[in-house]
Amino acid sequence: MKHILICRTDNIGDVVLTLPMAGYLRRLYPDCRIDLLCRGYVAPLMAHCRHFNQVITLESIGDARAFFAASGVDTVIFAYPDRRLAAAAWRARVPRRVGTSHRLYHLWYCNRLARFSRVNSPLHEAQLNFALLRPLGIDHVPGLAELPALYGLEAPALADTGPDIQALARRAPYNLVLHTKSNGNGREWPLAHYTALARRLQARPDIRLWVTGSAAEGQLLAREAPELLALPNVDNLCGRVDLPGLGALIGACSGLLASGTGPLHVAAALGRPTLGLFPQRKPIDAGRWGALGLRARSLSAHGSCPGCDNAATCSCMTGITPEQVEAILLSWCVPEGDAVAAAAADLHAAPPQSGPRTLVISPNWIGDAVMAQPLLQLLRARHPERPIDVLAPPAVAPAWQQMREVSEVLQTPFRHGALQLRERWRYARLLKARGYAEAYVLPNTLKYALIPWLAGIARRVGYKGESRHGLINVMHHDDVPPRPMVPFYAALADAPGAPLRGDVPRPALRVTAAQMEAAAARAGLAVDRPLVVFAPGAEFGPAKRWPPAHFAALARQVVASLPQAQVALLGSPKDRPVCDEIVAAVAGSDAAGAVFNLAGQTSLAEAIALIGRSAAIVSNDSGLLHVASSLDRPVVAIYGPTDPDHAPPFATVARSLSLRLACAPCRQRECPLGHHDCMRGLDAGMVWQALQPMLGASRIAATDGFAV
């Protein structure tokens, strides 16, 4: 392909969500000419996307057949179906004409058909656009985390707007865009809620509100929400700027609030703080149309909505309160680096129910968080009426969100390893208002014990750790030698010194069939082929990693035995170089097309879902090992410098492999002797002997939303 034309002749939001597909094509074919055909009102903004050689307006082409014949285009992708354009490309004999199979006229006019359904798909709209590349031999659907880097859109210069618009940007330190209407394309937040929000924000004289929209929408607001436009902190810009001008304003703003509408996606693509308000009903929910950006998030009402199928009876949008939205918007309007103020949004976005609550302060490691779940099961059994909140590092938070015992997950705003005493005091004041009756401090550090003490929580339970006398007032003492981690955490549910329980429950994360299907689709994995997961990383250090060459040899053995198998390499972005070595080592073998390097390409929630649908997992002593155990997937756990008896897998079908050398367990990040024999000596054949029977007996174990 030398000249690709993408035809997207509908609305601005749909065009923006097509940009990642264009960016991926540009990545694959850097020397290819890629043009965009779109509507005239969209073109000036799309001219600021670096992926396109030329942006052509639909209104300018005249005779469509003559246009295609003279264009030199060899591949046309109808991202938005248009019968006239498809017929013109056919008559002009464009060599490759791509369209969806569910348009009858495409069966005649297009010679490359993409067969997929948008209606029931779990994918985001931006991901669905990638299905149009399959007829071209490009079978890849990026994960949601990968998409923001593919937009390639830059904001028009504010200097190109009028002087009055430029002056607006200088009036206040923080300027928020409120795009109140959606041109009928989505469920809208009530205008009364926008008015209430604007009134609440009057308490912040450093914040201005820019109400944007078309001239017609401005007239509607003047009739239906005159109180909003009359507020002194509101600037009515409806009808005053064209689309490039709106793009410039969004690029200069402190954040944008909207429902499912084009400017929402423009803001996300430009990397601005973005909040989208969505109903729960599929396929108009945030899962399909949510803003995708590094600083974008979506908000929907809590609880069920019986009338969601009908816009007239739907209460989803009215259920999102101005207070919830205000907390998030205020988190954008803080001095740079004030993470505690930003974290306040999570504390206020979902107001807690009345009555006492329990706070659990999470360990810093995913595996430890999973192994602490039985403690929460015991606490819930003791007080079934009491909500349990978890304060967790951002990297660990998704694991807690998969636990049915957890009411809310609050993300810690502190830098790893930093004391930040002033910040902890400020955050503790926010926690104090939530009415916690008790706190369980799972990390052993002094700095985490400070938080519940500063928050005035009466009962503070934990281990002695760093001599935390006074900060912890229900103090347990570590065992020597230490007990396995699951009963270690579970013991905190009982009085200090109480006999060890013999009935400690097993950790059990929840994962639904829909989550597993969606994660597989987003990762580009076939749902009808068996999946084997490898977890080659280890956050603690390289000593815990089984050699990449051994993983590669095992992958070749898996594919040789099960030709339909897919092998997914999961891990964090830090693990990607190790996984790259595995992919390089299988190049040229039958396993080359079956090994998928997903390290750093999935969220933790997506990784959990993929593990949930796997036939088995092979893992180092890492967090994903314990995730797999909590989902009761067959597990082969590889131990070298760590003790297999301290944190063993607890799945029904599990094997722990360790050579138990004289120098082990050294518990060092790097081999102190330099030979790493504890891992190198475990060859792929030994691991295959443990894995092979698991693959024969495995099943995907998710029913009714919870792992069994």
The per-residue pLDDT for range 612-630, each reduced to its tens digit, is 999 999 999 888 999 999 9
Q: Rounded to a whole number, what is the distance in angstroms from the first to the last CA of the chain?
A: 49
418: which residues sit within 8 A by CB, 6+ positions away?
none
Nearest to 530 by CA among 553, 559, 570: 559
pLDDT band at 354 (very low <50, low <70, confident <90, very high): low
What pLDDT, on a 0 to 100 scale, did the predictor assign at position 414? 80
In the structure encoding, which two tokens stand for residue 558, read together? 């898996």
Q: What's this model's pTM, rounded to 2 decimal places? A: 0.61
What pLDDT, on a 0 to 100 scale, did the predictor assign at position 706? 29
Query: Is residue 582 pLDDT above 50, yes or no?
Result: yes
CA angle 290, 413, 457 (to 5 degrees): 115
* Cβ proximity of 567 and 532 under 8 Å: yes
In the structure encoding, which two tokens stand for residue 436, read together? 């916690």
Least confident of 268-277, 304-313, 544-553, 632-641: 304-313
Q: Specify the amino acid at residue 17.
A: L
* Residues 177-233: tens digit of each pLDDT: 999 998 777 789 999 999 999 999 999 999 999 999 999 999 999 999 999 999 999
Going from the C-alpha of 633 to that of each of 396, 567, 608, 627, the distances in angstroms are 20, 15, 11, 9
Nearest to 367 by CA among 609, 650, 668, 610: 650
The mean pLDDT value of the chain amounts to: 88
* Residues 240-265: tens digit of each pLDDT: 988 999 999 999 999 999 998 999 99
CA angle 438, 442, 445 (to 5 degrees): 110
What pLDDT, on a 0 to 100 scale, did the predictor assign at position 345? 58
Nearest to 139 by CA among 672, 639, 596, 602: 596
Q: H helices within 455-504, ranges in order?
A: 485-490
* Residues 253-302: tens digit of each pLDDT: 999 999 989 999 999 999 999 999 999 888 888 889 999 988 899 998 87
Q: 3-state SS of 619-636?
A: EECCHHHHHHHHCCCCEE
Query: Is residue 336 pLDDT above 80, yes or no?
Result: no
